[in-house]
Structure 1
Amino acid sequence: MKHLKTLFLVAMLIMALAISVTAKEAKKVKNRFLSERVVVTCDKYPNVCDIKGSVGSDCCMKKCVNLSRDGSNCGKCGKKCGYGKICCEGKCVNPKSNKKHCGKCGNKCNAESSCVFGMCSYA
């Protein structure tokens, strides 16, 4: 009976050791996998901006952008629109007074009305 208890304890120690070694090996594999992650940027792979769901088809500072609507890259990379202006068709415009982009991009006022405070024919 005494030998049976000793044998049982030895078996338990061997199992515990095997589990800890397996856990350490799994941890090493996980860390190695995460460190080998590849980041795809448009400066190296320009076609990544053409993928469905991309913000835009242009590449500025390693990011996909839409040069016709991006306020930080309006018309060209790095061209920022000033305070109160938005980027429409690649140009910085004031949506509170622009007849072609009144209130938002593409909202055109008719010939008789003007754009005031971002609304056509306000007065």
Structure 2
Amino acid sequence: MAKTLMLINLVTILFLLIFPLLAVSLEDEEIEGEYYVLDSVPANHSARRSSRYLITSVIKKIKKGTSCDAKTNPNVCNGVSANNGTSLLYCCKKHCRNVLGDRNNCGACGYKCRFGERCCGGVCTNVLANRTNCGKCSKKCPRGVKCDYGYCGYA
């Protein structure tokens, strides 16, 4: 009976220590929204150029994970800025990826962030202990408050 109680206490303590780490790693900025809204219409856009109104009123969207195969959809995301400069799209393994926020393509295609890190502005950042990126990118802790395990003032 005493061993069972000790085992339950040990499992509870491990869960309380590991859960904040898992919660931070399970969040994914790429899940927010289904489309990238381009900052400008690319030069190869297929809209007719006979009307200035049509050109300025077109809002070009690219669905996240769009195929960028050279045969079927060339140059769809070749260094394209989107979402008011917060996304930069590149073709990584035949799919459009945001190299400013994708943990598997951070800063460049194929550059993966480690466990506990997120891609903040194209740089892998430890969000478990960073006051200016606590738990997620751009979440700042108040002055004098530490970031522990991805939470401001955890202790």
TM-score normalised per structure 1: 0.55
**2:134–2:140 Cα contact (<8 Å) kept:** yes
Matched, 1:42 2:71: no
**Counterpart mapping for 1:19-98 below 5 A:** 41-44=67-70, 45-47=74-76, 57-98=89-130
Unaligned runs of 5+ in 1: 1-39
Unaligned runs of 5+ in 2: 1-65
CA RMSD of aligned residues (A): 2.5
| Cα displacement string for residues 13-51 of structure 1 (whole angstroms, at most 9, x for unaligned residues) | xxxxxxxxxxxxxxxxxxxxxxxxxxx84252122576x
Give secondary structure in 1 for the equivalent of 2:124. strand
Partners of 1:57 and 1:93 lie apart in 2 by: 20
Q: Which has the larger radius of gyration?
A: 1
**Could you say which structure has the greater relative contact order, defined with CA pairs below 8 angstroms and 6 or more residues apart?**
2
Percent of aligned pairs sharing the same letter: 41
**2:99–2:105 Cα contact (<8 Å) kept:** yes
TM-score normalised per structure 2: 0.45
Indicate the structure with greater helix content: 1
Deviation at 1:84, TM superposition (A): 2.1
| Cα displacement string for residues 70-92 of structure 1 (whole angstroms, at most 9, x for unaligned residues) | 11100111111112211111111
Indicate the structure with greater strand content: 2
Partners of 2:77 and 2:125 lie apart in 1 by: 29
Count of aligned residue pairs for this structure pair: 81
